[in-house]
Amino acid sequence: MTSSAPARTAIDIASAVRSAAIDPVAPTRAALSRIAQSDGELNAFTWVDDESALADAKSLESRPNLSELPMAGVPVAIKDNIDADHPVVTRLKAAGAVVVGYTALPECGIWPMTDNPERVTRNPWKPELSAGGSSGGAAAAVASGMVPVAHGNDGLGSIRIPAAVCGIFGLKPGAGVVPSEVGRTSWGGMVENGVLSSTVADAALALSVMAADPSLAVLSNPARLRIALDVSLPPMAMVRGDRHWRAAARVAGSVAVSAGHYVESAALPYPSMNATVIRWCAAAAKDAQGQKLRGLERRNRTHIRLGRLANALHLEGVSTANLEAAVAPFFERYELVITPALARNAPKAKHFSRTGWISNAWACRYAPLMGMWNILGWPAASVPMGRHPDGSPMAVQIAGPPGSESTILGLAAQIESRHPWPVVAF
């Protein structure tokens, strides 16, 4: 997966196009070529339109402000659960990005494994493993070098989980930073649109465009931070964490110390997983309100029925207000927290969609650490952190209170510079 050629990041591409060093069509042509070469194995994309993408790239030549466009000529992928006129898409295009296609997700975006009865999206580093989910197609597209940056969205870890297992950076912003508008209710307000990329700087650039906030693109070293390190798992029966993922979080803590920050061990007040599962089912049912279940995959019919039952019984699951009250004292002491991104490696790549709810829910045990930040509506990121002994990527999660996106990006960039990860050249 590594390449001896210099990595061409989104920032590199945009700079070259703005300065007329390369034709604005060239990066799109390269992306389409890579997709044609690699996607037959990985199944990252659901739809690619070469003609439309090349026409959009060609149209950049007539843009009078081409030299000012922050993402001039950058090929991007969009997760296939938002429309072509969604604010995220229109903002990316206005900034000069070229949409080359739409990426795969599991039906209804419910699961942290990306597959459907016909296709399984695979991990570029280890194709026998899942690419994660639900933004698994986006992660596979970036990790394989088909595109330098991709849009994703995250309801209980759906950006951060696939970013973690595919060895790339993924950021879910806090509520209100980027327009959500995913489905009927954005899973009761838990889903946020965000970004997956090979580098932190590329993520910051794309996020700044999606948020219409240029200040987010400016990476700066944060002043000395008080950072908590928590390697524990949320209370949940029959989950045993992999010590290598815990060790990765400790390494990240040491790197943060080397960057001048104060890091100490502390225990987050995680909500119970039982209550989180109720919230997960209930939120999906709200988005599916009025939808007939016939024709949906078996696992999703069960999931939505469970959610409808929870809603009928007025079972909220984890209350956002109660969780905020529990977490607030923790962040009076700390500015950010570092945790393992996952409890263990991704499951095998297979047709989970052909099996029932219980087997899918059992597979989800590898990713119990991310949901609380969606319930809170606070920002969180997945940062690559070395390799598991089996060769698959590992990662850590950095999270913080509302408004800490720039701080998270700054710390992630410091970790990237001191503990770099492999980047596939575009």
Bond prior to 215 in cis (omega within 30° of 0): no
Q: Which of 79, 126, 172, 286 is catalytic?
A: 79
> How many of the other CB atoms lie within 10 Å of CB of 34?
19
93 is catalytic: no
382 is catalytic: no
Q: Which of 126, 130, 134, 144 is catalytic?
A: 134
Q: Which of 144, 158, 186, 208 is catalytic?
A: 158
79 is catalytic: yes
Structure tokens at 33: 């070529």
- Residues 396, 341 contacting (CB under 8 angstroms): yes
Look-up of token digits 């850590």: 396
- Which residues are tagged catalytic? 79, 134, 158
